[in-house]
Structure 1
Amino acid sequence: MASSEQHYILPRPEFDKPTKVLIVISPYYKAIADDLLSGARAELDAAGASHETVEVPGALEIPAAISIAYRQSNFDGFVALGCVVRGETTHYETVCNDSSRAITLLGLEGASIGNGILTVENLLQAEVRANPDKQNKGAGAAAAALHLIALSRKWGRSGREIGFQPEGIQIAGKAEGPTTA
C-alpha cells in the first residue's frame, strides 16, 4: 500500500527575498480541496512565502488560470490543487491527461508549478492523499513549487531584459542603439 512507503523529502528551500505564490484550486470535491489547501498553505507559511488563492470550476480550468496568471501577473510560482475521481466514462482519462499535460507544458515554458491535482480511483484514496495528517499532497505540491522557484532564482540571469529596447538605453554597462562610424 502506498501510504506505508517511506519517501525522502528535500529540505525546505530558504529565500533571501520575498516569494509570492498563487494557489489555483478546484473545489469540485470540497472536503478534499479543503484538506489540500490546508496542507499547501501550511507549507507556504512555513517557508515564509506569501500566497493568494483562486478557485476554478474543475481540473481542466486549473492550467488555464495558471497560464493567465503566469503571463499577466508577478507570481513567483503556482500550486495546482484539485481532485479527479474515476467514473464510468472515459472523461476521467481526458481530464487527468489534459490537465497534467497542460501543467507540464507551462512548466517547460518556465512557470514554477507544483502539481497537486489528485487522480484517484475513489474518494477514500483522495481522502488519504489530501489529509494533512496522512499523505499531505497539498503540502507536497507547495514544496515542489518552492523548490522550482529556488532553482529559477539560482539559475536566473540578472539584468535580462525582455521586450523592445529604445535607442540609447544603457544595459549592463553597454550602450544599446545605433552606432555611428
Structure 2
Amino acid sequence: MAGSETHYALPRPSFDEAPKVLIVVAPYYRDIADNLIAGAKAEIEAAGGTAEVAEVPGALEVPTAIGMAARLCDYDAYVALGCVIRGETTHYDTVCNDSSRAIQLMGLQGLCIGNGILTVETREQAVVRADPADQDKGGGAAAAALHLLALSRKWGDRTKGVGFKTSAGDFLSSDR
C-alpha cells in the first residue's frame, strides 16, 4: 500500500522576502478540498509566507485562474488543488490530463506551481491523500511551489546574456 511507504522530502526552503502564494482550489468535494487547503496553508506559513485562496468550479478551471492571476496580480507562486475521482465515463481522463497539461505548460513558462490536484480511483484514496496528518498532498504541492520559487529567486539573481551587447556591455532585452 502506498500509504505505508516513506519518501525523501527536500528540506524546507528559506526566503529573505516572504513568499506571497495563491492557492487555487476546486472544492467539488468540500471536505477533501478543505484538508488540501489546510495542508498547503500550513506549509506556506511554516516557510514564512502568506497564502490567499481562490475557489473555482472545477479542476479544469484551476489552470485558467492561475494564468489570470499570473497576468493580473503579483503572486510569487501558485498551488493548484482539487480532486478528480474516476467515474463511469472518460470525462475523468479529460479532466486529469488537460488540467495537468495546462499546469505543466505554465510551469515551463516560468510560473512556480505546485500541482495538488488529486486524481484517484476512489473517495477513500482521496481522503487519505488529502489528510494533513496522513499523506498531506496539499502540503506537498505547496512545498513544490516553494521549492520552485526558491530556485527562481536563486537563478533570477543571475544575468544571462541573450542576443547582442550594447557598447556599454549590457545585453539587449527582448522584453520590448
Instruction: Normalising by structure 2, report the TM-score.
Output: 0.90
Deviations 1:69-112 (A, max 9, x none): 11111111000000000000000000000000000000000000
Equivalent pairs counted in the alignment come to 166
Larger Rg: 1
Matches within 5 A, 1:51-62: 51-62=51-62
Identity level (%): 65
Question: In 2, distance between residues paired with 1:72 and 1:52?
Answer: 15
Q: Give the letter for the 1:31 counterpart.
A: D
Q: Distance in 2 between matches of 1:36 and 1:97?
A: 20
Q: Whole-Å Cα distance in 2 between the matches of residues 71 and 157 of structure 1? A: 22
- Aligned residue number for residue 110 of structure 2: 110
**What is the TM-score with the length of structure 1 in the denominator?**
0.87
Shift in Å, 1:159 = 7.8
Offset, 1:157: 4.0
SS of the residue 2:111 aligns to: coil
Q: In the TM superposition, what whole-angstrom CA distance separates every residue of 1:106-161 from its partner, at most 9, and x where no partner exists?
A: 0000000000000000100000000011100000000000000000000004689x
2: CA distance, partners of 1:125 / 1:18 = 34
Paired position in structure 1 for 2:145? 145
Deviation at 1:18, TM superposition (A): 2.1
Query: Alignment RMSD, CA only?
Result: 1.9
Structural mapping, 1:34-113, within 5 Å:
34-113=34-113
Structure 2 Cα separation of the partners of residues 158 and 93 of structure 1:
40
The CA deviation at 1:175 is 9.2
Code of the aligned partner of 1:151: L
Tell me the distance in 1 between the aligned counterparts of 2:89 and 2:158: 49
